[in-house]
Structure 1
Amino acid sequence: MIIKTTIVFTLCLISATSFARGGGFSSGHSSYHSSGTGEHYVSGYTRSNGTYVAGHHQTNPNQTKYDNWSSKGNVNPYTGKEGTIDPSR
């Protein structure tokens, strides 16, 4: 019985930790949902000029532009598109 209780407790703890990492928050006009893997999903939204921006994945903000999917040398894993922007500019 103790082993069974320990296993259930461990699974609950793992589930709670995973849920906390995937939490989202609202940032301005879009919704940001972190996956805990260095990237997040931005929900679709409509700009003030009426243009709709479809939902998409992005790398998480940080202090460098070299790891952005749009930077040269990187590839967006969701679209397969190679980066074209020079990150040193």
Structure 2
Amino acid sequence: MKKLILLMMSAVLALSFAGSASAATKVKSYTKKNGTHVQSHNRSNKDKSFNNNWSTKGNTNPNTGKKGTKTHK
């Protein structure tokens, strides 16, 4: 019974993070048109929600620990 409860709690925890801003996409390094080189990095997955991006106020980038500051687009 304890194993079942632990398994169910683990599943709920895993699902609670599935839609959060912690989902990441690896971005390869590239050079901008103006010649600036951008190192490879992780970013939150693209979607249509402004509020679940790492740079939005109330969220924190899990890779850098930097808190988001943006309040609107």
Instruction: Report TM bin, short chain.
Output: 0.5 to 0.7
Structure of larger gyration radius:
1
* Structure 1: gaps spanning 5 or more residues: 1-36
Q: Which runs of 4+ in 1 moved over 4 A?
A: none
Give the Å deviation of 1:54: 1.2
- 1:59 and 2:44 matched: yes
* Seq. identity, %: 42
Residue 38 of structure 1: CA displacement?
2.5
Matched, 1:70 2:55: yes
Amino acid at match of 2:33: S
- Whole-angstrom distance in 2 between the partners of 1:68 and 1:84: 11
Alignment RMSD (CA, Å): 1.4
- TM norm structure 2: 0.65
Higher normalized strand content (fraction of residues): 1
Residues paired across the two proteins, number: 52
- Alignment gaps of 5+ in structure 2: 1-21
TM-score by length of 1: 0.54
TM-superposed CA distance for 1:86, in Å, is 0.5
